[in-house]
Structure 1
């Protein structure tokens, strides 16, 4: 364990939260196909409706 005492650790990256506009999300989902598109739409719909007071 003494050998590990002098190890230089990597710096942690700063993470910036990413927020997309509704138009950007529509474009991203529009480029998806198949199951990924279906799950993305369902996930987005559930989040939107839950915020409005509807529970799916």
Structure 2
């Protein structure tokens, strides 16, 4: 893993800490999972999908 730093709003860190308390997961793990989810969703939108049928 590569260590990195970034800035969060107070609202974001409060929400992450709340989720952390509820799940027992560290804030860093929650952030990694959220980033993974965002990347997957972005890649799905960016990947052209084959079209079924034709428009006439």
Fold conserved between structures, TM > 0.5: no
Tell me which of the two structures has the higher relative contact order, counting C-alpha pairs closer than 8 angstroms and 6 or more residues apart.
Answer: 2
* TM-score range normalised by the length of the shorter chain: 0.3 to 0.5
TM-score by structure 1 length? 0.37
Structure whose alpha-carbon radius of gyration is higher: 1
TM-score by structure 2 length? 0.37
